[in-house]
Structure 1
Amino acid sequence: MPALITRMGKRLRRLIERPGSAELTRYEALLPAIGDLEAELGELSDTELTERAGKLRLEAEFGDTQLVEICALGREAAKRALDERAFDVQLLGTMGLLTGHVVQMETGEGKTLAGALAAAGYALQGKRVHVTTVNDYLARRDAEWMKPVYDLLGVSVSWVDPTLTRDERREAYAREVTYGAVSEIGFDVLRDRLVTRVEDLVQPEPEVAIVDEADSVLVDEARVPLVMAGSVDHATADVEVANVVRRLRLGLHYETDSDGRNAWLTAAGASVVEKALGGIDLYDESGADRLAAVNVALHAHALLTRDVDYLVRDGKVQLINASRGRVAELQRWPDGLQAAVEAKEQVAATDRGEILDSITVQALMARYPQVAGMTGTAVAVAEQLREFYKLEVAVIPPNKPNIRTDEPDRIYASPSQKLRAIEAEIREVHETGRPILVGTQDVAESEELAEKLEKAGLPCVVLNARNDAEEAAIIAEAGKYGAVTVSTQMAGRGTDIRLGGADGKDRERVAELGGLHVIGTARYPSSRLDGQLRGRSGRQGDPGSAVFFASLNDELVLSNAPDVPEGIAADEETGRITDPAAQRQINHAQRVAEGVHLEIHRNTWRYTRLIEHQRAELLKHRDELLRTELAAEKLKEAAPKRYEELAEKLDSDALVQVCREIMLFHLDELWSDHLAYLSDVRESIHLRAIARETPLDEFHRLAIPEFHKIVPTIEERSLKTFEEAEVGDDGIDLGAAGVRRPSSTWTYLVHDSPFDSDFEQTLKQVRSLIKRK
């Protein structure tokens, strides 16, 4: 009876504290059996341990008995290879991953080892595993770090990064477990979709993905398209327009909405622009192209801020990933906006590419029959993980109780008063010798705060997008006695902050003082990002504390909940607000921001779902053309005389490959054209809303018939090329027949448009036009 009451109490507590999370009772019940095997496995030699793991490959099913075996073997392998004995909670995480959950494990609880043991478990079932990370550094680090464990379990492992050749990539993907940044794995998928010979493929069929920082990858980046582009020319911004827009003033010539997602010309602004551009009428049909250029230049001028949204480094515009506070490698805005920002900053324009193919991170993950993930903050997005991926969250308790002190937010009337309070807090805590980690919102804020601290005699180390290459070394030392570290967002840093620094020399001294003190300079747009910052303190039962400073004039509040209730009073001297209504307002603003993010995700997926379905259908056809002689059969059937004529001049294999090259070229070209058409439709679909039609329905109505034209057109164009291609001494000259693939290709990610819906933009333009009349 007492055991039943205890179980019921635990279940009730789980429902209250972590609603929607998976029940762990089944896995907890297996822990004693795993412990019972420890002595037996400890007596085996390394060779015998590897052989015992190999026997799991012969198992027909993978149930609880096998879960016990892999966890026990993994614990023993980690003990020998890394001198780390996996905690019970790490084995719970491993079992959660092996049963297809997103496991929530707090910072410092050993997710990397839990993920490696799960990957080995899947590999021992005969499945290929991709462990996706948030950047290339972590992919290589984790693969090399965990390799001795994999070796003892008889599982092969490697990693992919941008420096590898095609052959090296193919070899890496041939291993049972492959680590890679999610973007790099996605780019390899796109590259494989353009090959014309089977032997050029690098990736086998996907089977299992284990996603590190799952909330960041599966939610924050789910709608970010990865793009494969082919060379066209340099993007050109309208420099004349850029120079005109640069002189416009907010409130007089243009307005922005409260959330900073839209900017539009006022009547006075339109008049100034029209006069400066030679007396054109922007709102007449003849001025449509210039109006588009003006809108893009205005967005670049009014809505995108240097050192917040992007850096200018080495003569290039580099985007900043807002959720990670670092440079977003290979990431760019859609070409027109990218060129407009480059014109604004007066740097050289980058290449403009014809989009050959693209895939969103969400669609990339949908390719895997099995997906599991791990992160420190999953419960907050449990609904989205269930809605978009059919994944359930399993919350793993910490190995040692969390004794970090999370103080209530300290709220101030203005950002300047808040900044003074932050400086005073840093000074007071620093005088005790406790290490301090300050989490800022963006690069500009981190550098402004660091400058103020320097002047106040409080030297600090700064970690932001300008020096993200040094992040591991900086973070490793952030727990030293007396250290002050100012950083942009901490999510996905991948390095724990150990008390006393990397060598832990002063650990006891720092622990006695109270451990790491974390300060947030403002609440983030997501409660998960708040949690990621807090979680840097109090790892593995260490002492620590965390406090967020906030203002009712922070960007979060102004953009998402600007209507602050009246009567909230602030202390006249310090500006501090203790009225509970202020805290409710900030919490409300954060919930609104999270809701907007979710709605954007849903809306994007509504449109991309059809595109992904069409892409899957066409890829089946492409794969058949690539792997079989279907192209030759179709062209032989359509033009038998021409085929016989060419068969006399070419050997059969060469002729089959020529037919394949022709049909694959036209398929790829038509798919690229289709993507461009869908992009145009998507950009103009808001006009349907004005006509009281449902934009999504209209998108489907226009997209589906166009798609159905692709395969017949492929055959029609291929036949024309096949009949017209000239045969020389070196065979058929496909280049002369127009079968020319881009001279160079490159990959990048398209940053989410920072603007609101097209429909709202149109209404604002119409409203402005009405005012002019």
Structure 2
Amino acid sequence: MQRPGTTVSLDRFEAILPRILELEDELTALTDAEFTARAIELREIISKPRDGQAPLAEPLPIDAEDLADICATGREAGRRALGERAFDVQLLGAMAMLQGNVVEMATGEGKTLAAVIAAYGYVVRGSQVQVLTANDYLADRDARWMGPVYRMLGLSVGSVGEGCTHDERAAAYRCDVTYVSVSEAGFDFLRDQQVLRAEDTVMPGLYTVIVDEADSILIDEARVPLVVAGSLADATSDASAAATLVAAMRPGRDFEVIDDGRNVQLTDVGAALVERAWGGIHLYAPENLHRLTAVNLALHARTLLSVDVDYIVKDGRIALVDEFRGRVARRRRWPDGLQAAVEAKEGLAATDEGEILATITVQAFIALYPTVAGMTGTAATVGDELREFYRLEVAVIPPNTPNVRVDEPDRVYATIEEKEEALAAEVAAAHETGRPVLVGTLDVAESERLAALLQDRGIACTVLNAKNDAHEAAVIAEAGGRGAVTVSTQMAGRGTDIRLGGSDGADRAAVAELGGLYVIGAGRHDSRRVDDQLRGRAGRQGDPGGSVFFVSREDELIVRHGDGIGGTTAGDGRVTGPHVDWAVGHAQRVAEGVDFEIHRNTWRYGVLIERQRQVLARRRTALLTTDAAAELLREGKARFPADRSLVAAGQWTDEDGEPDGGLETVTVAERYAEVVAAIGEEAAEEVARQIALHHLDRGWADHLGMLANVRDGVHLRALGRQDPLDEFHRVAVPAFQQMLDEADADTAETFMAARIERPDWTPADAGLERPSATWTYMVHDNPFGSEIERLFGRMAKALLGR
């Protein structure tokens, strides 16, 4: 039957379940050694792997009988290795993933084991599999936890984390199945695009990926750029001086907040103040653009970013807070100098920003895998986005046991203070009975306010937020204990089950009698999925549970996206009326619509950049693995002075760019022959390769910087009734081809100018230095959006009737 919220019918998978059951007795009768041999034999029958054969770019087709064998074998392996026999619904999830879908399975329904069966199926069909997780902890945990199952199936499994060495990464990626966080996988991919020797890469290729927490990675983090950056020599910043100026400014007189609180701008009075402070400069003159930018960023840092909401200060550094998880966003920074502005605001030393050497968005990285599948607890509500951006369909898997959680209507209050007082009273009432309570808040500051309110009432609680998330899994595992009160920002312990009665289940019956875990949301998030994830912490596998959300008219969601909440206000601030729930839902739908439109439109810009990156990657691979660079020089007909010092000085051409007619000249090809005679063909090829790689990498880094500047300013073209995207393409397309041509020309010129007289010559001998240090980070979404994103946001609100 067709289930609500999905375009994928489960009928064909349900029809296979009886055959899987038939195979169970046959597999149970085997010894462990016989069973593993049978699992390996199934792989050999279906994919016929050969020694040294690379994994298939796309898995072999699969029929119903193969699906039955794979699922029956996977179920038996789980029973033997873990003592867990997969439920039928887990097999349905595995089969749906094996058909390249995203499956929605409720919390506690066993997605982790379902993914193992799916991964085994893909390996059996000739592919290699990477399971992408939200963080390093989950990658390591799941690889260790499921390792015995994989070994029972005759497969190798590894995991990659931030602390892994080059060799450890390479070994993990060679396994049949590799668990790795999406950020680490992306960083490894980008670093492989920077190597100077083919053997230094760690990834053997991208084949099949199973994305855990698929909605978070594929939607929430889709636009997040992964970055490899390099040190900039003599980098300077006006951030500190700008922060000092802005700190003394008065709102309303010197600056004003606009665009629904998502932008801020100087007034004429504020601009004059800045000009006087910097010695009477003209702030808007082209030569002072860097100072104007620094002041604007300082204004944004002061007025639009709040400590303990958008970021925390930890160990003398700024730590960004992930808006969807409420936890520290590791290895993330804001773009375009905003990070330095916030550091200056807080009086901290500026961290090195460097220049971007290579970058790719999470969405573009995932799209490189020929086969994509995924799993999550909440996918149906973003089915349209998954279909549009990834060509993925959603399969909603029913729970093994019906959900009996009681979800109450929202309770709406006039003010935040009244909302939090009512919430604290609700927690106190539940706590008095011994019922465990999990409170989900929208930010760190709110979690600490509520914890203080509870402590004033004599209620001890555990606070879990970005300031103390080191032992999150252990804290959440005990959140279902009798009398436990846990206050957590956003997604509480995603990937960790909350068992009634605590991790050991000692008081399970008593807690169940009290109604199970009670989840209380301290406000609605912009995304319904995030609320559903919090709500889904209760009612695991048919457990009793309850949930309710407290909302106020002053909540940011309502202020920014709502049309106001009418109704009658009681003495305690409670707002009631026939349209109250609709108003809250409307604000949430508008917020989701705006984000969808921004995603759709900014993605269109990313498409061109990603296509250019792929062209560059193919050229770089050719340089790295073939004699393409040497061939470029061997065929070079351009003429240069025979005197290399003239080439190096760059003073040897006439007005038309041709060599001075009075100079003795040689062609690039002639020069290449001279070098071969001096150091040998193999060494000459390597020299050509290293020079070409340097200029290609240098050109790409400059091109990325240019594109960022173009995109930041292209929104102004809309004011002249020009399509910003068309204008962006008009600049970016020829600039990319020019960059490639200039890289070839610079390669020839460097080769002509350099004194190459020994086989171990390197580009550094000609002054071509690579960055002294490189590092990786994720660019955190600009919290108030770029100019172009704000433009799209206004357009989206208009389309949605705002």
* TM-score tier after normalising by the smaller chain length: over 0.9
In structure 1, what is the equivalent of residue 497 of structure 2? Answer: 496
1:657 positional shift:
1.4
In structure 2, what is the equivalent of residue 190 of structure 1? Answer: 190
SS in 2 for 1:580: coil
Which whole-Å CA distance do the structure 1 matches of 2:569 and 2:272 have between them?
Answer: 44
Which whole-Å CA distance do the structure 2 matches of 1:215 and 1:491 have between them?
Answer: 16
In structure 2, what is the equivalent of residue 59 of structure 1? Answer: 46
- What are the residue-to-residue correspondences of 1:71-150 with 2, within 5 Å? 71-150=71-150
In 2 relative to 1, CA 745–479 (structure 1 residues): closer, same or farther, beyond 3 Å?
A: same
Unmatched runs of 5 consecutive residues or more in structure 1: 1-9, 764-773
Which whole-Å CA distance do the structure 1 matches of 2:270 and 2:676 have between them?
Answer: 67
1:135 positional shift:
0.2
**Matched pairs, number:** 746
In structure 2, what is the equivalent of residue 568 of structure 1? Answer: 567
In 2 relative to 1, CA 259–216 (structure 1 residues): closer, same or farther, beyond 3 Å?
A: farther
1:285 positional shift:
4.5
Residue by residue, what CA displacement relative to the aligned partner does 1:161-208 show, whole Å, maximum 9, x if unpaired? 111111111111111111100000000010000111111111112111
In structure 1, what is the equivalent of residue 623 of structure 2? Answer: 625
Residue by residue, what CA displacement relative to the aligned partner does 1:147-173 show, whole Å, maximum 9, x if unpaired? 100001111110111111111111111
TM-score (norm 2): 0.91
Asked if 2 retains the 8 angstrom alpha-carbon contact of 1:56 and 1:125, the reply is: no
1:709 positional shift:
1.4
Which whole-Å CA distance do the structure 1 matches of 2:221 and 2:358 have between them?
Answer: 18
Asked if 2 retains the 8 angstrom alpha-carbon contact of 1:689 and 1:759, the reply is: no
- Worse-matched range after superposition: 99-108 or 279-288: 279-288
Equivalent residue for 2:35, pick from 38, 49, 62: 49
Residue by residue, what CA displacement relative to the aligned partner does 1:296-333 show, whole Å, maximum 9, x if unpaired? 11011111111110111111111111101111111001
1:264 positional shift:
1.4
Q: Residue 616 of structure 2 aligns to which amino acid in structure 1?
A: L
SS in 2 for 1:263: strand
SS in 1 for 2:765: coil
Stretches (4+) displaced over 6 A: 760-763
Which whole-Å CA distance do the structure 2 matches of 1:692 and 1:141 have between them?
Answer: 54
In structure 2, what is the equivalent of residue 683 of structure 1? Answer: 712
In structure 1, what is the equivalent of residue 645 of structure 2? Answer: none
Residue by residue, what CA displacement relative to the aligned partner does 1:393-423 show, whole Å, maximum 9, x if unpaired? 0000001000000000011111111111001
In structure 2, what is the equivalent of residue 412 of structure 1? Answer: 413
In structure 1, what is the equivalent of residue 361 of structure 2? Answer: 360
In structure 1, what is the equivalent of residue 429 of structure 2? Answer: 428
- Worse-matched range after superposition: 329-338 or 222-231: 329-338
In structure 1, what is the equivalent of residue 506 of structure 2? Answer: 505
1:249 positional shift:
3.0
Residue by residue, what CA displacement relative to the aligned partner does 1:31-60 show, whole Å, maximum 9, x if unpaired? 111111111100011121112112222226
In structure 2, what is the equivalent of residue 768 of structure 1? Answer: none
Q: CA RMSD in A?
A: 1.7
- What are the residue-to-residue correspondences of 1:726-741 with 2, within 5 Å? 726-727=755-756, 731-741=760-770
Is residue 597 from structure 1 mapped to residue 598 from structure 2 by the alignment? no
In structure 2, what is the equivalent of residue 771 of structure 1? Answer: none
Q: Residue 329 of structure 1 aligns to which amino acid in structure 2?
A: R
In 2 relative to 1, CA 378–676 (structure 1 residues): closer, same or farther, beyond 3 Å?
A: same
SS in 2 for 1:327: coil
In structure 1, what is the equivalent of residue 772 of structure 2? Answer: 743
Which whole-Å CA distance do the structure 1 matches of 2:544 and 2:362 have between them?
Answer: 37
Asked if 2 retains the 8 angstrom alpha-carbon contact of 1:134 and 1:212, the reply is: yes
In structure 2, what is the equivalent of residue 767 of structure 1? Answer: none
SS in 1 for 2:433: coil
Identity %: 56
Which whole-Å CA distance do the structure 1 matches of 2:453 and 2:300 have between them?
Answer: 31
Asked if 2 retains the 8 angstrom alpha-carbon contact of 1:191 and 1:228, the reply is: yes
In 2 relative to 1, CA 259–35 (structure 1 residues): closer, same or farther, beyond 3 Å?
A: farther
In 2 relative to 1, CA 36–554 (structure 1 residues): closer, same or farther, beyond 3 Å?
A: same
1:274 positional shift:
3.4
Q: Residue 569 of structure 1 aligns to which amino acid in structure 2?
A: T
In structure 1, what is the equivalent of residue 581 of structure 2? Answer: 583
In 2 relative to 1, CA 362–198 (structure 1 residues): closer, same or farther, beyond 3 Å?
A: same
Which whole-Å CA distance do the structure 2 matches of 1:760 and 1:692 have between them?
Answer: 17
1:711 positional shift:
2.5
- Worse-matched range after superposition: 106-115 or 596-605: 596-605
Q: Residue 648 of structure 1 aligns to which amino acid in structure 2?
A: A
Unmatched runs of 5 consecutive residues or more in structure 2: 48-60, 637-667, 793-802
Q: Residue 683 of structure 1 aligns to which amino acid in structure 2?
A: D
Q: Residue 110 of structure 2 aligns to which amino acid in structure 1?
A: G
Is residue 377 from structure 1 mapped to residue 378 from structure 2 by the alignment? yes
Q: Residue 359 of structure 2 aligns to which amino acid in structure 1?
A: S
Q: Residue 642 of structure 1 aligns to which amino acid in structure 2?
A: R
Asked if 1 retains the 8 angstrom alpha-carbon contact of 2:410 and 2:548, the reply is: yes
SS in 2 for 1:351: coil
Which whole-Å CA distance do the structure 1 matches of 2:411 and 2:584 have between them?
Answer: 11
Which whole-Å CA distance do the structure 1 matches of 2:246 and 2:176 have between them?
Answer: 55
1:759 positional shift:
5.7
Which whole-Å CA distance do the structure 2 matches of 1:731 and 1:229 have between them?
Answer: 27
Which whole-Å CA distance do the structure 2 matches of 1:267 and 1:568 have between them?
Answer: 42
Which whole-Å CA distance do the structure 1 matches of 2:239 and 2:225 have between them?
Answer: 26
In structure 2, what is the equivalent of residue 7 of structure 1? Answer: none
In structure 1, what is the equivalent of residue 613 of structure 2? Answer: 615
- What are the residue-to-residue correspondences of 1:656-667 with 2, within 5 Å? 656-667=685-696
SS in 1 for 2:353: strand
Asked if 2 retains the 8 angstrom alpha-carbon contact of 1:235 and 1:335, the reply is: no
Which whole-Å CA distance do the structure 2 matches of 1:545 and 1:762 have between them?
Answer: 41
SS in 1 for 2:229: strand
Q: Residue 316 of structure 2 aligns to which amino acid in structure 1?
A: G
Residue by residue, what CA displacement relative to the aligned partner does 1:277-308 show, whole Å, maximum 9, x if unpaired? 34444345554332222111101111111111
Which whole-Å CA distance do the structure 2 matches of 1:93 and 1:50 have between them?
Answer: 23
In structure 1, what is the equivalent of residue 295 of structure 2? Answer: 294
- Worse-matched range after superposition: 504-513 or 729-738: 729-738
In 2 relative to 1, CA 762–130 (structure 1 residues): closer, same or farther, beyond 3 Å?
A: closer
- What are the residue-to-residue correspondences of 1:298-313 with 2, within 5 Å? 298-313=299-314
